Amino acid sequence: MNQRISVRAIVREDDKTLLLRRANGRQTILGQFELPGGKLAYGEQPEDALRRYLHDDAGLHIQTAQLFDAVTYIDRDDRDMQYVVIVYMIGLADGHHAIQLSQNYDKYLWKTVRELQQETITDLSQLLLGIIQQDEITEKSIEEIEHHDVSDTSDSNIIVYSDGGSRGNPGPSASGFVIVNGRQEVVA
């Protein structure tokens, strides 16, 4: 089995997510929309790769990148390839919102999660957005993560308790977390 590490960006503006439509690539993803991102180069840091893909493929500049999730995905076209996908919530730099697509993409969309179910989206992007065989990720959940006040934690430490499960890979899955500060108070 081969493994490949990649990064993907959830770029949100208001309550909408940015998706790019593939203009090239293998037949099963050609013409489908996906979250921006791609493979890490050898020795490259995930956030650097994310900055590279957003700049080169969409002409966008990152102001903030917050780790959102890390998942594995087995490619249905190549069952011997397992992807480790690092997903970030992205805040764009002021004044850099005009999208300029590379030759890899021919169209972009800003859609809400609910609207995305009606579009042609790659399997990986569906998985990352939580819309394969499970309830959609609510706009409120994403909003809470984006607007969480990190000043609620102590300066000294926090503890993150997490767990999750899946029926198959890919398949229906769920996860949860609780963050407590040094005074054992629940932060999130």
Best CA proximity match to 12, nearest among 157, 106, 141: 141
Contact assessment for residue 172 and residue 165, using Cβ atoms and an 8 Å cutoff: no
Under the phi-then-psi rule, with left for phi > 0, alpha for psi from -120 to 50, and beta for the rest, what region is 43? Answer: left
Distance separating alpha carbons of residues 35 and 89, to the nearest angstrom: 11
pLDDT on residue 78? 77
Q: What b/e readout covers 138-162, taking b as 16+ CB neighbours within 10 angstroms?
A: ebeebeeeeeeeeeebeeeeeeeee
The percent of residues in the chain predicted with pLDDT above 90, rounded, is 39
Tell me the pLDDT tens digit for each residue of 148-161: 555 554 456 888 88
User: What residues does CATH 3.90.79.10 cover in the chain?
Assistant: 2-134
Residue 140 has pLDDT above 70, yes or no: no
pLDDT over 80 (residue 113): no
pLDDT of residue 138: 47
Work out the pLDDT band at 143, boundaries 50, 70, 90.
low
Query: For the residues 90-105, what does the mean pLDDT come to?
Result: 87
Architecture of domain 2-134 in CATH? Alpha-Beta Complex (3.90)
8 A C-beta contact, residue 66 and residue 54: no
Is 50 exceeded by the pLDDT of residue 123?
A: yes
Q: Is 177 helix (H, G, I), strand (E, B) or coil?
A: strand
Mean pLDDT of the chain: 83
Residues 125 and 161: their CA atoms lie apart, in Å, by: 26
* The pLDDT of residue 185: 85
- Specify the range with the lowest mean pLDDT, choosing from 9-23, 45-59, 144-158: 144-158
> Does the pLDDT value for residue 37 go beyond 90?
yes
> Residue 83: which residues within 8 A CB-CB, separation 6 or more?
3, 4, 5, 6, 72, 73, 74, 75, 124
pLDDT band at 133; cut points 50, 70, 90: very low
41-58 mean pLDDT: 95
pLDDT of residue 149: 59
- Measured between alpha carbons, how far is 107 from 14 in angstroms, rounded to an integer? 20
**pLDDT higher for 41 or 134?**
41
The residue to which tokens 């990986």 are assigned: 124
